Amino acid sequence: MRTPVQLLRIALPLVATALSCSDITNLEQKDPSQILSKDVYVPEQAALLVNGAVGDFECAFFRYVTAAGLLGDELVNVIANTANYNYDRRTNPLTGSYAGGCNTIQQPGVYTSLSVARASADTVLARLEGWTDAQMPAGVSRTQLIGKAAAYAGYSLVLLGEGFCTAAINVGPELTPTQVFTEAEGRFDQAITAAGAAGDTTTLNLARVGRARTLLNLAFAATPTDSTDPDPALLAAAAAAAALVPAGFVVTAVASATGTTRQQNVVFAHTGVGIGTANYSSVDASFDSVKFAGVLDPRVRVINTGQVGANGVPIRQQTKYANLGAAAPIARTAEAQLIVAEAAILTGDRGTAVNIINALHAAAGIPAYDSTGQTNAQVLTQVRDERKVELFLESHRLGDTRRLSRDLVPPIGTPFPGGGTYGDQRCFPLPAVERNNNPNIPDV
């Protein structure tokens, strides 16, 4: 029998050998609770990645609708909180909460959430272009996924272009809205090509609406006034793309009342939870009791709750989104038709414009618009009023205000409930987190 000393004589050098001979250069990190990017960015997970990009956009979209509603004139702040004031007061500092991401509700983060959504879609788009059809799992069309990823990348870019004074892509230089819209146009073109090839009509029409919206912005980009002479070629191209969208088309951002923060309808979270002092936002008075020809317009039905928020502002509750799980339209036929109508009246085609207005009125159950005796300019105003009402809290109002250089309401310098005065922002500035950490953009 071996003695303990003999055993140790054997054991100790063995342990020493094991310790000293192990390959100490090859220690792999183990974190089973996390999913490594390299394990997911593979062809087998292409559909998962595209769905993730869509989810990222939906999260960003709800935050954009809310934040843009506050910066524009659809919503007003009703909570006593300085960070919230900045949205509605149009005084967002470069370090403001608007720079945040998808983990936000009370102060909706739009720049990071939109940037992440854009990058998620662009990243998987690039991967899909590098992969082959043969690498795709059974039943998964690479072409269809390319179309979907490109379309959602385009929508993130459109919102960055409409809502931000400048933006950046892939840690690149500071881009003007025109440059951002041009990027968006490229994505929509790619989406239209791919979706057409794949026979994916939903994505095809989503991209058509997106392309029309982008071109409408570009048409006015060179003449940023409420003018009647936008770039005619771009305007025509916008109308042409929109005209292809069939009736009854809609793609929504889905939400969940029981899901995570990123899955909630933030518009409802702001305006419909805890009516009273717990509200964050209320509908602006200009949308209260909107009537056409004496008839209340159901498209902007607002409940005057009789209560006031923490800052004393009356609570007007929107009814478009009834709960935290209410879906919101990203693109639909009405938007496409209004682009057609705006292009038509700008080129003197009253008939098309009025027909579209009246089709929308008929759908809403309100009296028809009679253009008799109206000038083309008055019809144009009506088209834009239709956009305000029809597309209420669907992400368009801020972009229109900026595209058409509308006067800000309330005017600059008006005292703000809660302190300070209304500022002059028509768009969110490129935030400090981008400026200070992007080597291609000077720090602030």
Which parts of 167-186 interact with other proteins (CB under 8 A)?
Answer: 167-172
The nearer residue to other proteins, 429 or 431, going by C-beta atoms, is 431
Q: Under rule CB under 8 A, which residues in 279-308 are in contact with other proteins?
A: none
Binding other proteins (rule: CB under 8 A), the pick from 70, 75, 116, 212 is 116
Cβ atoms of 147 and 195 within 8 Å: the answer is yes
Query: CA 100 to CA 323: how far, in whole Å?
Result: 23
The nearer residue to other proteins, 43 or 101, going by C-beta atoms, is 101
Q: What is the DSSP string of 131-168?
A: S-GGGSPTT--HHHHHHHHHHHHHHHHHHHHHHBSSB-
Is 134 one of the binding residues for other proteins (CB under 8 A)?
no
What are 303's strand-pairing partners?
Answer: 317
Query: CA 22 to CA 96: how far, in whole Å?
Result: 51
Query: CA 233 to CA 315: how far, in whole Å?
Result: 44
Binding other proteins (rule: CB under 8 A), the pick from 64, 111, 292, 392 is 111
Q: What's the first-to-final CA gap in the chain, in angstroms?
A: 78
Contacts of 294 (CB under 8 A, 6+ apart): none
The nearer residue to other proteins, 164 or 369, going by C-beta atoms, is 164
Distance of CA 67 to the CA centre of its chain: 10
Is 8 one of the binding residues for other proteins (CB under 8 A)?
yes
Cβ atoms of 305 and 316 within 8 Å: the answer is yes
The nearer residue to other proteins, 131 or 349, going by C-beta atoms, is 131
The nearer residue to other proteins, 165 or 197, going by C-beta atoms, is 165
Is 22 one of the binding residues for other proteins (CB under 8 A)?
yes
Q: Map residues 365-394 to x or -, x wherever contact with other proteins holds by CB under 8 A.
A: ------------------------------
Binding other proteins (rule: CB under 8 A), the pick from 42, 48, 296, 409 is 48
Cβ atoms of 138 and 64 within 8 Å: the answer is no
Is 16 one of the binding residues for other proteins (CB under 8 A)?
yes
In the complex, what is the shortest distance from the CB of residue 253 to other proteins, in angstroms, rounded to a whole number?
8
Q: Map residues 318-357 to x or -, x wherever contact with other proteins holds by CB under 8 A.
A: -------x--------------------------------
Q: Map residues 49-68 to x or -, x wherever contact with other proteins holds by CB under 8 A.
A: x-xxxxxx-x----------
Is 6 one of the binding residues for other proteins (CB under 8 A)?
yes
Q: Under rule CB under 8 A, which residues in 180-239 are in contact with other proteins?
A: none
For 30, phi then psi, to 5°, come to: -120, 120
Cβ atoms of 420 and 85 within 8 Å: the answer is yes
Contacts of 346 (CB under 8 A, 6+ apart): 228, 230, 235, 380
Binding other proteins (rule: CB under 8 A), the pick from 77, 92, 107, 112 is 112
In the complex, what is the shortest distance from the CB of residue 288 to other proteins, in angstroms, rounded to a whole number?
28
The nearer residue to other proteins, 258 or 372, going by C-beta atoms, is 258
- Reference 70, options 107, 118, 15; nearest CA is 107
Number of residues that bind other proteins (CB under 8 A): 79
Q: Under rule CB under 8 A, which residues in 405-434 are in contact with other proteins?
A: 419, 431, 433-434
- Give the binding range for other proteins (CB under 8 A) out of 109-117, 199-207, 362-370, 421-429: 109-117
Binding other proteins (rule: CB under 8 A), the pick from 1, 2, 28, 132 is 28
- Reference 356, options 239, 251, 208; nearest CA is 239
- Give the binding range for other proteins (CB under 8 A) out of 107-115, 141-149, 241-249, 402-410: 107-115
- The structure tokens listed for 119 are 């990058």
Q: What is the DSSP string of 235-304?
A: HHHHHHHHHTSPTT-EEEE---SSS-GGGS-HHHHHHTSSTTTT--EEE-GGGTT-EETTEE-GGG-EEE
